[in-house]
Amino acid sequence: MHTILNPREEEVMRILWKLQKAFVKDILAEMDPPAPPYNTVSSIVRKLETEGLIGHTVYGNTHQYHPVLQKKQYRKWSFERLFNHYFDRSPEALMSFFLDEESLDQEKLEEIIRKLKK
């Protein structure tokens, strides 16, 4: 995957991962307010489909969309991009960031250590 999604595109993907199948109106109903116009969501969906991230099934004059790119794949790609670009592929820099930001409490840190020992 080489596409960086903007916030609205990512929101549409999150909705499709959640619903698994959806028409544009369903996606629109799930969007955070203020929701964009129907035509904007339709354009986002068409762009995501052009990029191969979603597919569709035709029902008469309408399309039901589904994710082609799975959430796990996107999460892995996003993390690798973040890790490579902002932490210089350094696990120490990543852990240091979490510890400095106090995002990890003792319990979470111990859980990570247990997983690392497996």
- End-to-end CA distance of the chain: give it in Å, rounded: 30
| pLDDT for 115 | 81
pLDDT above 80 (res 8):
yes
Which amino acid belongs to residue 7? P
Around 46, how many Cα atoms within 13 Å sit in the side-chain half-sphere?
7
Is residue 70 a contact partner of residue 61, using CB atoms and an 8 Å limit? no
pLDDT, tens digit (0-9, with 9 covering 90-100), for 39-75: 999 999 999 999 999 999 999 999 999 999 999 999 9
Spatial CA neighbour of 98 closest among 113, 78, 76: 113
pLDDT above 80 (res 98):
no
The pTM of this model reads 0.78
Spatial CA neighbour of 5 closest among 64, 55, 77: 77
| pLDDT for 57 | 98
**Which residue matches tokens 């319990």?**
107
What structural domains and CATH numbers belong to the chain?
7-67 (1.10.10.10), 71-117 (no CATH)
